[in-house]
């Protein structure tokens, strides 16, 4: 096992996992070690996503893992969370790919689609033969998706879509895009297949973060869609926001994986690196940083496990997810920055995974609701005052 991938379990939380959950986690951990780590730096440098991993990820049941039926694995939410944790211990871009495929694209169809749409798309997406993306954000509307300008108008039985979506993970490698658009009655969703006339994608380059993940713009110019491309149960902003709740849940778990890799790397490094004739790990300031990392990772693990149990019992509220996403990603980012500092000059090179995780986590802190947006969601929940209005 790559040393940086090893578990961190200070409070024996493993005892609270079933043997099936542990087996799922260990399988994904082995996959990340064997298949992802040897090539991740190459993909990060080249700004490419490792598409060759898609069939193996599908084989392991990662796509739509917690969806029941339609060829999906139907795992519980603890297992789903552990998958996200192990993928992100490798790279946030890998977890992003799985999050978008599962919790955004597949879930959007599962929750808002017709029976025909579910049967047509979900089994193929579970097998990784169809890739999805999720187009909500626009150039001028990020934190406030309700302001979107993409429009769909009725055209006989079908629809015509116009607009631009930006910052869309998997955009140019997707076979089907979930596109959210405004109609007279509010916001609704559409399935736009690659190759539809008027629909094009353009990749965003020059990212310093999430370089092993594809991020694109979706351009819709008089895109004509049949009635069968409309998601009939997507009514209002709660359509896309319901999908975000699923994806944010996975991100809360994933961030712990990235933080754990940074902690393990910093621990190993400071135990072996000597300055002033003794290991860095022997200095009080270094120990203080390591203990803070351990504490925050352990607290994050506990929050996630409780969240998973609430989700499996049908008691999880979106605000619980905001709490976990906001806290775990923010703490993971702080841990990554501390780890980078503790590696000194070695902290800026790709011989160690830390700076890659640190840069990735800047994105993770921004997407799926920024830290401050989740602060305001929680603020609204506890005060009853809506700061967004």
Active site residues: 368
Q: Which is nearer to ligand FAD, 168 or 286 (CB)?
A: 168
Q: What is the 3-state secondary structure (H, E, C) of 299-340?
A: HHHHHHHHHHHHHHCCCCCHHHHHHHHHHHHHHHHHHHHHHH
Q: Identify the residue among 13, 204, 241, 378 touching ligand TGC (CB under 6 A).
A: 241
**Which range in 25-33, 58-66, 177-185, 235-243 contacts ligand TGC by CB under 6 A?**
235-243
Question: Which residue blocks in 105-219 are alpha helix, DSSP H?
Answer: 107-112, 115-126
Is residue 76 involved in binding ligand FAD (CB under 6 A)?
Answer: no
180 in Cβ contact with 231 (< 8 Å): no
Mask of contacts with ligand TGC, 264-303, x by CB under 6 A?
----------------------------------------
Is residue 369 involved in binding ligand TGC (CB under 6 A)?
Answer: yes
User: CB 383 → ligand FAD: shortest distance, Å?
Assistant: 15
Residue numbers 337-376 binding ligand FAD by CB under 6 A: 363, 366-368, 370, 372-373
Residue numbers 154-173 binding ligand FAD by CB under 6 A: 167-169
Partner that binds at residue 237, options ligand TGC, ligand FAD, none, CB closer than 5 to 8 Å by kind: ligand TGC
Partner that binds at residue 215, options ligand TGC, ligand FAD, none, CB closer than 5 to 8 Å by kind: ligand FAD
Q: Which is nearer to ligand FAD, 253 or 263 (CB)?
A: 253
Q: Identify the residue among 54, 136, 214, 262 touching ligand TGC (CB under 6 A).
A: 136
**CA-CA distance, 23 to 18, in Å (whole number)?**
9
Q: Identify the residue among 33, 56, 114, 143 touching ligand FAD (CB under 6 A).
A: 143
Q: Which helix (H) or strand (E) holds 179?
A: strand 176-183
Please calculate the CA angle 337-340-346 and round it to the nearest 5 degrees: 165
Pairing status of strand 176-183 against strand 132-135: parallel
Mask of contacts with ligand FAD, 116-135, x by CB under 6 A?
------------------xx
**CA-CA distance, 68 to 362, in Å (whole number)?**
33
Of the candidates 159, 150, 162, 143, which has an alpha carbon nearest to the alpha carbon of residue 186? 150
Of the candidates 388, 143, 68, 104, which has an alpha carbon nearest to the alpha carbon of residue 248? 104
Strand partners, 164: 219
Name the site residues for ligand FAD (rule: CB under 6 A): 100, 134-137, 142-143, 167-169, 210, 215, 363, 366-368, 370, 372-373, 388
């Amino acid at each position: 096992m790559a040393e940086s991938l090893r578990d961190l379990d200070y409070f024996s939380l493993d005892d609270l996992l079933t043997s099936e959950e542990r087996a799922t986690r260990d399988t994904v951990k082995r996959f990340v070690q064997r298949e992802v780590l040897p090539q991740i730096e190459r993909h990060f440098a080249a700004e490419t996503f490792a598409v060759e991993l898609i069939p193996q990820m599908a084989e392991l049941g990662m796509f739509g893992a917690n969806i029941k039926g339609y060829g999906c694995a139907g795992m519980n939410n603890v297992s789903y969370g552990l998958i996200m944790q192990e993928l992100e211990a490798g790279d946030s871009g890998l977890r992003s790919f799985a999050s978008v495929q599962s919790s955004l694209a597949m879930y959007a169809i599962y929750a808002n689609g017709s029976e025909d749409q579910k049967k047509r798309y979900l089994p193929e997406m579970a097998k990784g033969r169809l890739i999805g993306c999720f187009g909500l954000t626009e150039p001028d509307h990020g934190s406030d998706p309700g302001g979107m300008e993409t429009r769909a108008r009725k055209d006989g039985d079908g629809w015509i879509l116009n607009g631009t979506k930006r910052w869309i993970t998997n955009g140019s490698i997707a076979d089907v895009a979930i596109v959210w658009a405004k109609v007279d009655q509010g916001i609704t969703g559409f399935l736009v297949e690659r190759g539809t006339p008027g629909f094009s994608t353009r990749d965003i380059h020059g990212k310093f973060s999430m370089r092993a993940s594809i991020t694109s713009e979706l351009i819709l110019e008089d895109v004509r869609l049949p009635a069968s491309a409309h998601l009939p149960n997507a009514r209002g902003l709660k359509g896309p926001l319901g999908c975000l709740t699923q994806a944010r849940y996975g991100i809360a778990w994933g961030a712990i994986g990235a933080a754990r890799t940074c902690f393990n790397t910093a621990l190993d490094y400071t135990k072996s690196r000597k300055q002033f004739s003794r290991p860095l790990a022997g200095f009080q300031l270094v120990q203080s940083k390591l203990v803070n990392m351990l504490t925050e990772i352990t607290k994050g693990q506990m929050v996630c496990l409780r969240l998973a149990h609430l989700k499996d019992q049908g008691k999880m509220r979106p605000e619980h997810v905001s709490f976990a996403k906001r806290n775990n990603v923010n703490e993971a980012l702080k841990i990554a920055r501390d780890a980078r500092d503790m590696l000194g000059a070695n902290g800026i090179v790709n011989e160690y995974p830390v700076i890659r995780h640190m840069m990735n986590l800047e994105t993770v802190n921004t997407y799926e609701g920024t830290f401050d947006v989740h602060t305001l969601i929680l603020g609204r929940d506890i005060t009853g005052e809506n700061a967004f209005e």
